[in-house]
Amino acid sequence: MDAIEVLKTRRSVRAYTAEPVPRKIIEDIVDCGRLAATGINIQPWEFVVVTAPEMRRKIAQTAEYGKFIAQAPVCVVVLCRDTEHYLEDGSAATENILLAARAHGLGSCWVAGDKKRYAPDICRLVEAPRGYKLVSLVPIGYPAETPEPPKRPLAEVLHWEKY
């Protein structure tokens, strides 16, 4: 799959098969997160890969709209130091992770973290150092569904020169 196809076909997948994801692939996906754009190259991120079923269950119970994390073989917890642009930086890394997962034939979904009531609880669960923020949770696994959410057409959102 070329890069443009990856970008255009990525969708949030919330149902996964039980097939485990090879460690090398997980590392490659996180590596893509590591290489994201970041304000003044500060790279405030840390990535916690959770595979243990009990921990994934705890995360799933805690994250309001992330119950399917319990079913995914992997969950990447994206944390950032509380810097000026932590949210943009962590979001860029998160999007890279979603796209890298897609490129590897995997499904994933951005589950909200930042500013969520449960964010400090997740930080505690993964034993993040003080001062770190939860940006996102990214469950990853081989897809067991092919969602097709509606997308606004290009002609509606593209404005040349002025709005």
Ligand X SMILES: Cc1cc2nc3c(=O)[nH]c(=O)nc-3n(C[C@H](O)[C@H](O)[C@H](O)COP(=O)(O)O)c2cc1C
* Residue numbers 76-135 binding ligand X by CB under 6 A: 109-112
- Cβ nearer to ligand X, comparing 79 with 161: 79
Nearest to 97 by CA among 71, 123, 76: 76
Near ligand X by CB under 6 A: residue from 30, 36, 47, 66: 66
Contacts of 107 (CB under 8 A, 6+ apart): 13, 15, 16, 101, 140, 141, 142, 143, 144, 145
- Cβ nearer to ligand X, comparing 66 with 141: 66
Residue 49's alpha-carbon distances to 21, 27, 96, 136, in angstroms, are 12, 9, 15, 12
Residue 101 C-beta: closest distance to ligand X, Å: 12
Q: Report if residue 57 touches ligand X, rule: CB under 6 A.
A: no
Residue 53 C-beta: closest distance to ligand X, Å: 20
Whose tokens are 């097939």? That residue is 19
Near ligand X by CB under 6 A: residue from 65, 82, 131, 145: 65
- Cβ nearer to ligand X, comparing 152 with 162: 152
Residue 44 C-beta: closest distance to ligand X, Å: 17
Residue 25 C-beta: closest distance to ligand X, Å: 21
In this structure, what are the phi and psi dihedrals at residue 156, rounded to the nearest 5 degrees?
-80, -30
Q: Report if residue 139 touches ligand X, rule: CB under 6 A.
A: no
Distance CA 116, CA 63 (A): 9
Give me the 1-40 binding string for ligand X, x by CB under 6 A, dash otherwise.
----------xx-x--------------------------
Distance CA 113, CA 120 (A): 9
In this structure, what are the phi and psi dihedrals at residue 136, rounded to the nearest 5 degrees?
-160, 165
Reduced to 3 states (helix: H, G, I; strand: E, B; else coil), residue 10 is coil
Which residues contact ligand X by CB under 6 A? 11-12, 14, 65-66, 109-112, 147, 149
